[in-house]
Amino acid sequence: MAQHLETLKTCIGLPIRELNFTDDRLSAILRHLNEEEPWQTYEQNQGKLMIRVYDLSTKHVRLDTTTASTY
């Protein structure tokens, strides 16, 4: 877990510690994200950080499929 803390801090945007991922706290987070609206909000906010769109002048566009999905 310690090696992933910096990644998690960046994704979440809040200071976190290993203590935040004890069974009780992790259970509370998962219960919250299991609800439809909080999960969609989280997923949309993360998508805004990970997806970039560039205005490229071109005649042709080629789309490659991917195994990931987002909304």
Per-residue pLDDT of the chain (71 residues; tens, 9 = 90+): 667 788 878 877 888 888 877 788 778 877 877 888 878 888 888 877 777 778 878 788 777 777 766 66
Which position has the token pair 């992933």?
A: 4
Q: List CB contacts of 33: < 8 A, sequence separation 6 or more.
A: 39, 42
Q: Is 55 helix (H, G, I), strand (E, B) or coil?
A: coil
**Residue 29's closest CA among 17, 21, 41?**
21
pTM beyond 0.75: the answer is no
Task: Give start and end residues of each alpha helix (H) in the chain.
Answer: 5-12, 23-33, 36-50
